[in-house]
Structure 1
Amino acid sequence: MSSFRAWTHGLDEIRLGPGAAGLSYEFLSSLLENAPLAICLTLGHEHRYALANKIFRSALALSGDLVGKPLREALGDRYTEQTRAPRQFVLKTGQPSQITSIPFGPDAMGETTFWDITFLPVRDADNRLSGVLSLGIDVTLRVNATLEADRRAQEGAINSKRLALAVEATELGLWEWIAETGVIYWSDRQREIFGIGADEPLTHELWVSSIHPDDRDWVVEKVGSLVDPASMGKLQIEYRIVRPDGDVRWISSRGRMLYETVNGRPQAARLLGTILDITERRTNEEARRLLAKELDHRVKNLFAMASAMVSMTARAATSPSEMAASLHGRLQALARAHELIHPALAEDIPRQRETSVAAIAETILAPHQDLGLPDRILIDCAPISAGEKSATSLTLVLHELATNASKYGALSTANGHLTITCWHDGETVFLSWRERDGPAIERPPDTSGFGSHLARKSVTDQLEGEIVYDWQREGLHVELRVPLPHLLR
């Protein structure tokens, strides 16, 4: 800038220093006026215009003769600290200054544009600071692109939050496997379902070892088959996992293998998917299946017991009217016994009341009394209370034993005997079921029926006790041992 001798009022006042001969006024005027930059020269501390080229005037929508006007007057309300401060800095320090992405406008087209502006000191022939030359570059496209990118990033962040909230609400775990590197990603929820700590490294072996042994082979084979593009890459399976604490959980896994084309052929790239803990659903489904089987089992047993009662009553009755009266009473007793076990079968909410072990046994065995010998059934129980919850489980067990005895055991014959005794030692309740004089038992049954399985499950799971079967030749002997506190629940 030392070539400029002085900048007084306008372009025609420029004095060129030595060596600048040959540059005409018209050439210099045309050069600056049409330069692809916004060029402005201001002089003095009032920043009076000495030069403002076409692009500068257009960007600020300025018209008329600007030469000699202070920036404050020409710009009006647009003369801000952002416009003034860098020029003041240059005049004070003699150092260049720069500002970026400054909005100008609206321009002559009514649009706002953005500029990067460099401010340079201007010195006179005596090397004194006399003005500021500003050079502006239109960066509107860059700024708009940045703003759009920011908008999309913000929108993406919002969508990610929405997705995260949706995933959290559904309690889904997210996972990903990169085929080329073997890298595995699990979300926090996925780790929680598997019982894996946040800092524990994820490996293929870890996942395989978490699968329940009974499901491991077919699950690994199913997932491995997705590497083949012919599989269509869709995964939809339910299987069990075993957490580090031994807890078994059912999960539903959904996934999709993505393929990429390599050398003209599709190749497995990454496997994405979700898991959902469905343990509660599977447990409820199993409970419903068990209930359906139990209802079917009970209906068959009722028919079998009713048939046995008809036969036994017919043999003991001396007249049709006596048979009808006896059979009617026994069927009513059978109905009362069924009502006693109804809450367990229908999953009704039980009434809050207590009963006794003896009362349960008497109600269950009432339909079988006097079918033959008057003293064929003996119940000798200490006064032991049973809470509503435990009474239902105990009822199911005694009902199952009575049903089997009427079908196969001592209660299936007129001469059979059954003795039930119960007592406790302060901590444990003992109940003995002893049959005799029924059909001889050659050996224990080869398989355990559904009813026996249900009885054992009721004792061990609901009552937290134990049941032992002793298949003696003269008759079945069953012993129940239940913690007294559990029987009182």
Structure 2
Amino acid sequence: MSPFQPWAHGLDEIRFHGGIEGFSREALSELLENVPLAIAVTLGPDQHFAFANRLFRSALSLSQEDLIGRTACAVLGSRYTPEIKALSEKVFETGQPQELKDLALVLPLDAATYWDIKLLPVRDAGNRISGILTLAANVTERVKARSEAELQAREAALHNERLALAVEATELGLWEWNAQSGDTFWSERQKAIFGLGKDEPASYEFWLSAIHPEDRDRVVGSVGALSDPKSGGQLHLEHRIVHPNGEIRWIDSRGRMLYEIVDGELKPARLLGTILDITERRRGDEVRQLLVQELNHRVKNVFAMTSGMVALTAKNAETPREMAKALRGRIEALARAHELIRPAITGSELGDKTTSVHEIVQAVLAPHIDHGARPQIVLEGLPQQIGPKAATALTLVLHELATNAVKYGSLSVPEGHLRVSWTCNGNLALIWQEENGPLIAHAPELEGFGSLLSRKSVTGQLGGTIAHDWRREGLLVRIDLPLEQLDA
């Protein structure tokens, strides 16, 4: 703001009715000497100094005698800039006041100062412009304060930019909720995590509806508890949200309630926080938990299958040497079958080697084949190539079926029989048919872990279907797989 703005009346010109000589030095000194503005009067186009008050003189480190009668150019030297000269000439040409803002001047006792300068026309009794009244206000502190504020603003903007980049790198969503007004702010990342368009408004109602129904009471209760200052104001939750398209995501939400004193009481003011999409992490945790369960399941099955192979081998071997040889072969075959499913239960990398359905079935069932007079296992089907990923999933399913057959089904008794057949006609249809094993009273009431794993492998990884028919005379399983999935 100009230092001249608060004046009660505009000052556009000065009139001397009787000439400048009509004012005595004493009168001018008494009137203007101690005014907190630098004031000077110059006469004529060459601007000879007729008066300069104390502040004007001290700024230039000159006495009144050093100024009176000399021209502005001679007194100011290089400080009489072309800009000041042009404005002075304009006062004489137009008769209108002229003004300069934040003019930088290097004065004798100061490194650098800044001034607001106003030039007013001085008119004589004949209404002719005879000189200029100069009013100058030192605004150095104002300019420095503004420069400091601008510097701080630039630094704040840079800090905010760095913070925004850091937040973007961490993929955090930012949010704020005003507990008094209910106003809500969500960053673009926050909206994206919730499946909300960046131009769509965020609201408490949308947030509430987006929380998974099974988690809603827990989340709302935790947030509501923050209204009590005794809660400490800290929030940390992991919960599910539901996108408008039905997709379910997991988020890690952290926040802090800020309180303020209202009518002598501490009241909730604003809740600020961040969220992080942890869906992939949660899925990874679920996969790891499933793998641990699968490993435990497999270890138990290996012991059960080994026990069954020992019993089966002992029944058919005539000598200990023959039994040892047969048992060693079966255990080695079991190890080869286990190697086929290792990537599925360890999460290790798959190879790029293709195989066939026959090779997979043969490898899985090799530990259980008895080469006696009456074969217990029959394999029927044409060669069908299969990729490494599909081979691992199919091996896992067949290994589970074989394990159950050895423990409970047709391979658990010498007279049992198993036929595995497959055909390719638009898709791969594989039939697992058990007979002459222990009679089946009814289908299992609950789906076991192995059956659950098999179903997920077929439907999830291979995009196919699996159906169990618990016939009294033996289990019948049909697996249908799209051929395009077998190349994976």
Normalising TM by the smaller chain, what interval? over 0.9
Match of 2:441? Answer: 442
Q: Distance in 2 between matches of 1:148 and 1:5?
A: 49
Q: CA deviation at 1:126?
A: 2.6
Match of 1:488? Answer: 487
Q: Distance in 1 between matches of 2:361 and 2:61?
A: 104
Q: CA deviation at 1:30?
A: 4.2
Do the aligned partners of residues 25 and 350 (structure 1) sit closer, same or farther apart at CA in structure 2, a change above 3 Å counting? closer
Is the contact between residue 16 and residue 123 of structure 2 (CA under 8 Å) also seen in structure 1? no
Match of 1:352? Answer: 352
Match of 2:81? Answer: 80
Provide, for residues 362-397 of structure 1, a one-character-per-residue CA deviation record: whole Å limited to 9, x for no partner. Answer: 110000011876311011112221111111110000
Is the contact between residue 60 and residue 105 of structure 1 (CA under 8 Å) also seen in structure 2? no
Do the aligned partners of residues 2 and 353 (structure 1) sit closer, same or farther apart at CA in structure 2, a change above 3 Å counting? closer
Q: How does 1:410-425 map to 2 (within 5 A)?
A: 410-425=410-425
Q: How does 1:174-189 map to 2 (within 5 A)?
A: 174-189=174-189
Q: CA deviation at 1:127?
A: 2.5
Q: CA deviation at 1:189?
A: 0.9
Q: How does 1:47-446 map to 2 (within 5 A)?
A: 47-62=47-62, 65-108=66-109, 110-370=110-370, 374-425=374-425, 427-446=426-445
Q: Distance in 1 between matches of 2:185 and 2:372?
A: 73
Q: Distance in 2 between matches of 1:388 and 1:373?
A: 35
Do the aligned partners of residues 25 and 132 (structure 1) sit closer, same or farther apart at CA in structure 2, a change above 3 Å counting? closer
Per the alignment, in what secondary structure is the counterpart of residue 177 of structure 1? strand
Q: CA deviation at 1:95?
A: 1.7
Q: CA deviation at 1:454?
A: 0.8
Match of 2:22? Answer: 15
Q: Distance in 1 between matches of 2:339 and 2:155?
A: 63
Q: Which amino acid aligns with 2:261?
A: T
Match of 2:11? Answer: none
Q: CA deviation at 1:50?
A: 1.6
Report how many aligned residue pairs link the two structures. Answer: 474
Do the aligned partners of residues 254 and 121 (structure 1) sit closer, same or farther apart at CA in structure 2, a change above 3 Å counting? same
Match of 2:10? Answer: none
Q: Distance in 2 between matches of 1:358 and 1:50?
A: 117
TM-score (norm 2): 0.93
Per the alignment, in what secondary structure is the counterpart of residue 438 of structure 2? coil
Do the aligned partners of residues 342 and 25 (structure 1) sit closer, same or farther apart at CA in structure 2, a change above 3 Å counting? closer
TM-score (norm 1): 0.93
Match of 1:11? Answer: none
Q: Which amino acid aligns with 2:22?
A: R
Q: Distance in 1 between matches of 2:372 and 2:44?
A: 131
Q: Distance in 2 between matches of 1:436 and 1:483?
A: 28
Higher deviation after alignment, 282-291 or 95-104: 95-104
Q: CA deviation at 1:357?
A: 0.8
**Residue 5 of structure 1 pairs with residue 4 of structure 2:** no
Per the alignment, in what secondary structure is the counterpart of residue 18 of structure 2? strand
Q: CA RMSD in A?
A: 1.8
Q: CA deviation at 1:113?
A: 2.8
Is the contact between residue 194 and residue 241 of structure 1 (CA under 8 Å) also seen in structure 2? yes
Is the contact between residue 316 and residue 371 of structure 1 (CA under 8 Å) also seen in structure 2? no
Q: Distance in 2 between matches of 1:371 and 1:220?
A: 66
Provide, for residues 269-288 of structure 1, a one-character-per-residue CA deviation record: whole Å limited to 9, x for no partner. Answer: 11111111111111222222
Q: Distance in 2 between matches of 1:406 and 1:29?
A: 120
Higher deviation after alignment, 300-309 or 78-87: 78-87
Spell out structure 1 runs of 4+ moving beyond 6 A.
none
Structure 1 residues not aligned, in runs of 5+: 8-13, 17-23
**Residue 478 of structure 1 pairs with residue 477 of structure 2:** yes
Q: CA deviation at 1:413?
A: 1.1
Match of 2:3? Answer: none
Do the aligned partners of residues 441 and 62 (structure 1) sit closer, same or farther apart at CA in structure 2, a change above 3 Å counting? farther
Q: Which amino acid aligns with 1:339?
A: E
Q: Distance in 1 between matches of 2:399 and 2:77?
A: 100
Higher deviation after alignment, 36-45 or 359-368: 36-45
Q: Distance in 1 between matches of 2:486 and 2:25?
A: 114
Per the alignment, in what secondary structure is the counterpart of residue 440 of structure 1? coil
Is the contact between residue 372 and residue 414 of structure 1 (CA under 8 Å) also seen in structure 2? no
Q: Distance in 2 between matches of 1:459 and 1:435?
A: 20
Provide, for residues 440-473 of structure 1, a one-character-per-residue CA deviation record: whole Å limited to 9, x for no partner. Answer: 1111112112111111110001110000011111
Do the aligned partners of residues 2 and 341 (structure 1) sit closer, same or farther apart at CA in structure 2, a change above 3 Å counting? closer
Q: CA deviation at 1:101?
A: 2.3
Is the contact between residue 373 and residue 415 of structure 1 (CA under 8 Å) also seen in structure 2? no
Q: Distance in 1 between matches of 2:376 and 2:25?
A: 137
Is the contact between residue 422 and residue 430 of structure 1 (CA under 8 Å) also seen in structure 2? yes
Q: Which amino acid aligns with 2:172?
A: L
Match of 1:465? Answer: 464
Match of 1:21? Answer: none
Q: Which amino acid aligns with 1:6?
A: G
Do the aligned partners of residues 83 and 62 (structure 1) sit closer, same or farther apart at CA in structure 2, a change above 3 Å counting? farther
Do the aligned partners of residues 267 and 372 (structure 1) sit closer, same or farther apart at CA in structure 2, a change above 3 Å counting? farther
Q: CA deviation at 1:298?
A: 1.1
Q: CA deviation at 1:103?
A: 2.6
